[in-house]
Amino acid sequence: MQQQTLVQQRWNRSLPFADYIVDRWDKARELGFDDGCSIYDSSLVLGDVLVGKNTWIGPFTVLDGSGGLEIGENCSISAGVQIYTHDTVNWATSGGEKQPERASVSIGNRCYIGPNVIISKGITIGDGCVIGANSLVNKDIPDGMKAWGSPARLQGEVPPNGKD
């Protein structure tokens, strides 16, 4: 395939087949995301998901907007990130008698969410935050903070303008 050869030569990468056919920026526009956004075809998008300008959403992500999900501008959502706005714990443990629980998730502007992070329903992550790889975020993260771990714990402040 000519597209595969071009991608290999230009960026030295090989992609899942669908990503040669589906344009990431077109998909973002079709989903109603703001200008300059991209999202890989391998991403699962459910419900009401709002994404601000210039946000990159990596491959194999889950964006569950069934309870409302907002992602700010200039964010990087790494490969394998899962963001949930609902859970079915009470539904399952009640034998289907209780309804799934939903709560919105908000991610501020200029955030980096590392690979394979899981964000639970009802969470707010402030502006300018960094969430380390493989973290479980089950508590709110204030503006300008670094957090990682399972569960994620605050690890300090993000240096101003991203400088160390």
The predicted-structure confidence for 36-66, as pLDDT tens digits, reads as follows 999 999 999 999 999 999 999 999 999 999 9
Q: Where are the alpha helices (DSSP H) in 31-137?
A: 89-93
Confidence of residue 86 (pLDDT cuts 50, 70, 90): very high
Can you list the domains of the chain with their CATH numbers? 23-159 (2.160.10.10)
pTM of the model: 0.90
Q: ω into residue 16 within 30 of 0, thus cis?
A: no
* DSSP 8-state assignment for residue 95: T
The predicted-structure confidence for 126-137, as pLDDT tens digits, reads as follows 999 999 999 999
